[in-house]
Amino acid sequence: MLAERDLTRLPDDLGPTDGVLVVDVAHNRLTQLPTALGRFADAQVLYLGDNRFTGVPDVVRQLGSLVYLSVAENEIAALPDWIGELERLMELRVQHNHLTQLPPSIGRLRALRELHLRGNAIRHLPIEIRHLRELRVLDLRANGATCLPETLLELPRLDKLDLRWNPMPELPPVAAALRERGCFVLWP
């Protein structure tokens, strides 16, 4: 759509929105999004990666049909509490930002299958992560994590847990238990 154009802002009129399933404005220099983006009610995929956002733009909250959201490679310090309202989300990519924690509302993303957190500063996961019963991939590479919550054992579909490049002197017992039940655990 408007990806890789070195844009610093998007036009207020984004054209017809009916039937648009993919909105791609990645690889620009955006710091905000126009409110008109909220009219893309049918959008299922939103690429906002590699821009200059310091937070997830509020207009994303209006896109309740999203199944894929990428805000990777920005300058985001915190996910908004409303992120849990995106209940259809199946994949969330927030790698290479400045996150130090996840909001408890992350547990409301009941359809989430992949959560990519690589390259942040998340040391602990919230207990609410146990509600992500469909989660299959959890990428925690390079976060400074020193421990894992036992609630990860409550994720019946977790297939892959990537713990590389974290300061864990040994494989955490939770990860060892996940590995024993068949989860592919990458460490170190």
Q: What is the pLDDT of residue 7?
A: 80
Residue 6 lies in a domain: no
| Residues pairing with 162 in the sheet | 139, 186
d(CA 55, CA 145): 22
Residue 3 lies in a domain: no
Q: What is the pLDDT of residue 17?
A: 84
Q: What is the pLDDT of residue 1?
A: 62
**Number of structural domains found in the chain:** 1
Q: What is the pLDDT of residue 2?
A: 81
Closest by Cα among 60, 64, 55, 46 to 3? 46
Residue 147 lies in a domain: yes
Q: Give the dihedral sign, CA 72/56/112/187.
A: positive
- Per-residue pLDDT of the chain (188 residues), as tens digits, is 687 778 899 888 877 888 999 999 999 999 999 999 999 999 999 999 999 999 999 999 999 999 999 999 999 999 999 999 999 999 999 999 999 999 999 999 999 999 999 999 999 999 999 999 999 999 999 999 989 999 999 999 999 999 999 999 999 999 999 999 999 999 98
Q: In this structure, what CATH number is given to the domain that contains residue 81?
A: 3.80.10.10
Q: Are 99 and 75 in contact (CB under 8 A)?
A: no
Residue-number span of the structural domain to which 175 is assigned: 22-186
